[in-house]
Amino acid sequence: MLHHSRAGHVVGCPEMNRMVSLVSPAMLVVLAMSSRAEAPPPLAEGPSAAEQEFIARHWRRPIPPQGPPPARFSPIERSLQPEACGACHPVQFADWQGSIHARSMGPGIAGQLVDLVRTDPLSARSCATCHAPIAEQRPELLEGGRWIANPDFDSALQGRGVVCASCHVREHQRFGPPRRDGSTASRAPRASLPHNGLTRTTAFLRSEFCASCHQFAPDGLALAGKPLENTYEEWRGSPAARRGLQCQSCHMPDRRHLWRGIHDADMVRSGLDIVLRAARPRYRSGDIARATLTITTPRVGHAFPTYVTPAVLVRAELIDSDGRAVPGSLEERLIGRQVPLDLSREIADTRIPPGGRFRLDYARQLPASGLRLRVTVTVLPDEFYTRFFETMLSAGAGGGDDQIRLALEATRRSAYTLYEKELALS
Ligand code: HEC
Ligand code: HEC
Ligand code: HEC
Ligand code: HEC
Ligand code: HEC
The dihedral through the CA atoms of 177, 19, 411, 405 has a sign that is: negative
Going by alpha carbons, the residue nearest to atom 30 of ligand 3 is 92
C-alpha to C-alpha distance for 229 and 214, rounded to whole angstroms: 7
Going by alpha carbons, the residue nearest to atom 34 of ligand 4 is 210
Please state whether 222 falls in left (phi above 0), alpha (psi between -120 and 50) or beta: beta
Contacts of 385 (CB under 8 A, 6+ apart): 13, 108, 309, 407, 408, 411
Amino acid at position 256, single letter: R
Pocket of ligand 1 (CB under 6 A): 76-77, 80, 84-85, 87-89, 164-165, 168-169, 174, 176-177, 179, 186, 193-195, 197-198
> For residue 6, which of 162, 136, 122 has the smallest C-alpha distance?
122
C-alpha to C-alpha distance for 58 and 204, rounded to whole angstroms: 11
Contacts of 170 (CB under 8 A, 6+ apart): 58, 63, 66
Tell me, rounded to whole angstroms, the distance of Cα 395 from its chain centroid: 28
Q: How far is the CA of 357 from the centre of ligand 4 (A)?
A: 25
Which atom of ligand 3 is nearest to 177's Cα?
A: 14
C-alpha to C-alpha distance for 364 and 118, rounded to whole angstroms: 58
For 115, list phi and psi in degrees, rounded to 5: -85, -30
- Please tell me if the CB atom of residue 168 comes closer than 6 angstroms to any atom of ligand 4: no
- Please tell me if the CB atom of residue 123 comes closer than 6 angstroms to any atom of ligand 2: yes
Q: How far is the CA of 238 from the centre of ligand 5 (A)?
A: 12
Going by alpha carbons, the residue nearest to atom 27 of ligand 5 is 305
Going by alpha carbons, the residue nearest to atom 34 of ligand 1 is 85
C-alpha to C-alpha distance for 20 and 218, rounded to whole angstroms: 8
Q: How far is the CA of 290 from the centre of ligand 4 (A)?
A: 41
Ligand nearest 216 Cα, by number? 2
- Contact (CB, 8 A) for 418 and 358: no
CA dihedral 43, 47, 50, 51 (to 10 degrees): 80
Going by alpha carbons, the residue nearest to atom 17 of ligand 4 is 104
> For residue 376, which of 422, 327, 426 has the smallest C-alpha distance?
422
Maximum pairwise Cα distance, the chain = 84
- Other Cβ atoms closer than 10 A to 29: 10
- Contact (CB, 8 A) for 12 and 344: no
Q: How far is the CA of 190 from the centre of ligand 1 (A)?
A: 12
Going by alpha carbons, the residue nearest to atom 16 of ligand 2 is 309
- Please tell me if the CB atom of residue 100 comes closer than 6 angstroms to any atom of ligand 4: yes
> For residue 165, which of 92, 113, 217 has the smallest C-alpha distance?
92
* pLDDT in 10s for each residue of the chain, 426 residues: 343 333 333 455 555 533 333 323 332 222 223 333 333 345 658 999 999 999 999 999 999 999 999 999 999 999 999 999 999 999 999 999 999 999 999 999 999 998 888 888 888 888 999 999 999 999 988 788 888 899 999 999 999 999 999 999 999 999 999 999 999 999 999 999 999 999 999 999 999 999 999 999 998 999 999 999 999 999 999 999 999 999 999 999 999 999 999 999 999 999 999 999 999 999 999 999 999 999 999 999 999 999 999 999 999 999 999 999 999 999 999 999 999 999 999 999 999 999 999 999 999 999 999 999 999 999 999 999 999 999 999 998 889 999 999 999 999 999 999 999 999 998
Radius of gyration of the chain (CA): 24
